[in-house]
Amino acid sequence: MQTHDPAKLIPADFAPVPSLVWLGALDVSVVDDLSADLGAVGIVVADSGDVPEAIGFDREALSRAGFSAEKGATLVLPQPSGPTLVLVGSGPTDELSGAVLRDAAAAFARASSSFAEVGLRAPDIGDVDPAAAAQALTEGTLLARYRYRALRAEHKETALTRLELAVSDADTSTVEAGRAAGLANVRAATVARDLANTPPGHLTAQNLAEIAVELGESFGFEVETFDRDALIELGCGGLLGVNAGSAEEPRMIRLRYSGGSDRKLALVGKGIMYDSGGISLKPSDPMHLLMKMDMGGAAAILGAFTALRDVGVTTDVSAWLMCTDNMPSGSAYKLGDVLTARGGTTVEVKNTDAEGRLVMMDGLVLATEWDPDAIVDIATLTGAALMALGPLTAALFSNDQPLADRVRAASEATSEQAWQLPLERAYRKQLDSDIADISNLGGAFAGATTAALFLEAFVSGVPWAHLDIAGTMQSPTDDSWRAAGATGYGARLLVRLAESF
Ligand code: BES
Ligand code: MN
Ligand code: ZN
């Protein structure tokens, strides 16, 4: 897994997915009693009922120290010897859930971030299923301790090397299954984060295709990559049009996972390796530093695929990742150009910065040709989605309410928030073109909706849901399961969706 251009002075041993190295060396185990040689030990405490005896203080004393065990609160208690004790609140027992435990684990991870070896005990998980609890604790701890480490020799933060989990008095094999599912989901999200955090010069569409091939070999899925000639053969005029201004070749990356059942889930991801806007050049404001993450949708899908086998998905899942950068140059596509999508639909380009929908249209048509039960696409598609819902909630659109409900349920299970917006078809005429079948630009308002309506024009009535993750692909700060930078949003959601499909 490496990039090859010597002129970029990228070392031959550059690891584009350093989290795999981190997770490979990390020891996560389920125990009855946490070891005495750990650096820090966390105990999850509800805001009422008995305080676990091991803490050595009663509720009165804790509350005098300012700790009332509300959700996400922490209290660090140094010990004369042995591990530092970290109390972490989980709030009211009747509100306890996987999400609350995941957040509590993340709060613990931040309070104990100077320790390489930690343990976390949840003495009382109420009605939460023990496997779900173990999964949530694993995810919360590891996702909060994530750092992008590929490009600096020295790190301020200590890397986590060992995590012990003690979950109530539940049966060890159940908790063990949750730990394993947690690790697979952490891998999904951190692979997605690593890829989105990678600088654009270190990760071209070709590089991503090579990485996908290696991940497929390691994690049990098939990968087929399509270069420029193959894309011409397929008639993918959207991906080729957006790529026209680039010095780098495009790639379409096809992923296939065989679950064995006769259900078929298709995924399509936006893989804009860097979005300059093209001839409709973006201004150089700091926001556009984020445009290396314009492949966050493709990264989320690729990350999710690394978990499908390990969590035992039985559905067949197939994905199309549409990868290129969007650059201005003498050969770039122009405003007024007409591109021909796979399947023959012609598209007038009114803005080259609305490139995401152009690469997605080819992927959506190819997905319909596979004859799936549903198509879910994920794309950093519009600034309007970020404006409307901010960095915590993705915009969800669908032509099929049962599918939208499934996506919402997956989103709730993983705390990757999504909110459904109406697919207002009255706005469709904003996309009319005088010279082609459709144009790629709507009016001034409801930009996330007009983008979704554009995509809908290519799904041939197949049940389809669209996640616009322009807001959620990155986080300005550390926040619950998110680490500052790329969030990996969608990776776990898609795993959950595939599991429940
Ligand atoms: N990649 C951007 C959307 C984006 C914006 C993602 C901010 C993350 C943060 C997308 O390609 C884009 O440029 N969209 C335009 C569409 C417009 C020209 C219709 C936008 O939202 O401004
Ligand atoms: Mn753009
Ligand atoms: Zn874009």
Q: Model confidence over 405-443: pLDDT tens digits?
A: 999 999 999 999 999 999 999 999 999 999 999 999 999
Answer for the pair 241, 354: CB distance below 8 angstroms, yes or no.
no
Spacing, Cα 458 to ligand 2 middle (Å):
19
Residue 352 CB–ligand 1 contact under 6 Å? no
Residue 384 CB–ligand 1 contact under 6 Å? yes
| Ligand (nearest to CA of 287) | 1
Answer for the pair 57, 102: CB distance below 8 angstroms, yes or no.
no
Residue 74's CB: how many other CB atoms inside 10 A? 18
Q: Is the sign of the CA dihedral 178, 183, 186, 192 positive or negative?
A: negative
282 is catalytic: yes
Which pLDDT score, from 0 to 100, does residue 1 have? 47
For residue 394, give Cα distances in angstroms to 9, 77, 293, 399: 37, 38, 15, 17
Q: Given 71, 145, 147, 357, which residue is catalytic? A: 357
The HSE-up count of residue 422 (CA atoms within 13 Å, CB side) is 6
218: nearest Cα among 377, 486, 13, 17 = 17
Answer for the pair 250, 228: CB distance below 8 angstroms, yes or no.
yes
Residue 325 CB–ligand 1 contact under 6 Å? no
Entry field: residues in the chain: 501
For residue 153, give Cα distances in angstroms to 12, 14, 149, 150: 15, 12, 8, 8
Answer for the pair 379, 355: CB distance below 8 angstroms, yes or no.
no
- As given in the structure block, the two tokens for residue 192 are 């997605």
| Ligand 1 mutation target, pool 289, 381, 438, 475, most atoms within 8 A of CB | 381
- As given in the structure block, the two tokens for residue 478 are 């550390």
Which pLDDT score, from 0 to 100, does residue 4 have? 60
Q: Which residues contact 314 (CB under 8 A, 6 or more apart)?
A: 259, 260, 261, 263
Answer for the pair 342, 436: CB distance below 8 angstroms, yes or no.
no
Residue 380 CB–ligand 1 contact under 6 Å? yes
Spacing, Cα 282 to ligand 2 middle (Å):
8
- For residue 86, the cross-strand partners are 42, 76
Burial of 116 (0-12, 13-18, 19+ CB in 10 A): middle
- For residue 419, the cross-strand partners are 395
Three state DSSP letters for 86-133: EEEECCCHHHCCHHHHHHHHHHHHHHCCCCCEEEEEECCCCCCCHHHH
357 is catalytic: yes
Reduced to 3 states (helix: H, G, I; strand: E, B; else coil), residue 27 is strand
The strand order across the sheet containing 438-439 reads 338-340, 346-348, 438-439
45: nearest Cα among 115, 109, 93 = 93
Give the ligand 1 atom nearest the CA of 356. 11
Local confidence pLDDT in tens for the 501 residues of the chain? 445 677 888 888 888 999 999 999 999 999 999 999 999 999 999 999 989 888 999 999 999 999 999 999 999 999 999 999 999 999 999 999 999 999 999 999 999 999 999 999 999 999 999 999 999 999 999 999 999 989 987 777 899 999 999 998 778 889 999 999 999 999 999 999 999 999 999 999 999 999 999 999 999 999 999 999 999 999 999 999 999 999 999 999 999 999 999 999 999 999 999 999 999 999 988 878 899 999 999 999 999 999 999 999 999 999 999 999 999 999 999 999 999 999 999 999 999 999 999 999 999 999 999 999 999 999 999 999 999 999 999 999 999 999 999 999 999 999 999 999 999 999 999 999 999 999 999 999 999 999 999 999 999 999 999 999 999 999 999 999 999 999 999 999 999 999 999
Residue 445's CB: how many other CB atoms inside 10 A? 10
Which pLDDT score, from 0 to 100, does residue 168 have? 85
- Note the pTM of the prediction, 2 decimals: 0.98
Give the ligand 1 atom nearest the CA of 473. 8
Burial of 207 (0-12, 13-18, 19+ CB in 10 A): buried
Residue 310's CB: how many other CB atoms inside 10 A? 17
Residue 420 CB–ligand 1 contact under 6 Å? no
Residue 73 CB–ligand 1 contact under 6 Å? no
* Alpha-carbon span 365 to 266, nearest angstrom: 11
| Ligand 1 mutation target, pool 294, 382, 449, most atoms within 8 A of CB | 382
The domains located in the chain, with CATH, are 19-190 (3.40.220.10), 203-500 (3.40.630.10)
- What residues flank ion ligand 3 with Cβ within 5 A? 272, 275, 294, 356
Spacing, Cα 432 to ligand 1 middle (Å):
20
| Ligand (nearest to CA of 383) | 1
DSSP tag of 169: T
Write down the H helix ranges in 226-355. Answer: 228-234, 237-243, 296-311
* Alpha-carbon span 140 to 160, nearest angstrom: 13
* Alpha-carbon span 177 to 31, nearest angstrom: 13
- As given in the structure block, the two tokens for residue 227 are 């270069």
Give the ligand 1 atom nearest the CA of 275. 1
Reduced to 3 states (helix: H, G, I; strand: E, B; else coil), residue 402 is helix
Q: Which residues contact 75 (CB under 8 A, 6 or more apart)?
A: 62, 65, 66, 67, 86, 87
Spacing, Cα 288 to ligand 3 middle (Å):
10
- For residue 485, the cross-strand partners are 475
Q: Given 282, 334, 350, 428, which residue is catalytic? A: 282
